[in-house]
């Protein structure tokens, strides 16, 4: 979020503290699993999120607070960014995004075999 945001001075932010805040998404709900995951996390925290879909596609997600004035969920480490104009805060509870990978049957991958073995 922008460093002048009311929550910006906190070391961590509970997702429930984002109730009433505008949140940036990069795709409309229903067209992106990630957007749906973020909105679902807000709903589980007890609020229906207000959101805007960013028109600045391809930019780093950490730029969203500057281009939309909203909060954004990002994967950057906590700290100040963009010459101190944006601050990334740790979120509670942590949001974990599932990872998926596909391989063609005829290919070989040591990493895939390791992941499947650890299943």
pTM of the model: 0.79
Q: Which contiguous run of DSSP H or E holds residue 116?
A: helix 110-118
Q: From CA 25, how far away is CA 29, in angstroms rounded?
A: 8
Identify the pLDDT of residue 104.
84
Q: Do 101 and 83 meet the contact criterion of CB atoms below 8 Å apart?
A: no
Mean pLDDT of 82-92: 95
Instruction: Pick 72 or 67 by higher pLDDT.
Output: 72
End-to-end CA, the chain? 37
Question: What percent of the chain clears pLDDT 70, i.e. is strictly above it?
Answer: 97
Could you tell me how far CA 107 lies from the centroid of its own chain?
Answer: 33
Where residue 68 falls among pLDDT bands split at 50, 70, 90? confident
Question: Which tens digit of pLDDT belongs to each residue from 9-31?
Answer: 998 999 999 999 999 998 999 99
């Amino acid at each position: 979020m922008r460093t002048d945001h009311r929550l910006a001075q906190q070391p961590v932010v509970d997702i429930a503290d984002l109730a009433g805040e505008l949140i940036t998404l990069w795709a409309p709900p229903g067209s992106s699993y990630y957007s749906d995951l973020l909105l679902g996390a807000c709903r589980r925290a007890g609020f229906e999120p207000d959101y805007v879909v960013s028109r600045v596609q391809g930019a780093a997600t950490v730029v969203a607070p500057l281009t939309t004035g909203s909060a954004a969920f990002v994967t950057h480490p906590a700290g100040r960014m963009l010459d101190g104009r944006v601050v990334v805060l740790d979120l509670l509870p942590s949001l974990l995004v599932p990872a998926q990978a596909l391989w063609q049957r005829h290919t070989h991958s040591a990493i895939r075999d390791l992941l499947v073995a650890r299943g």
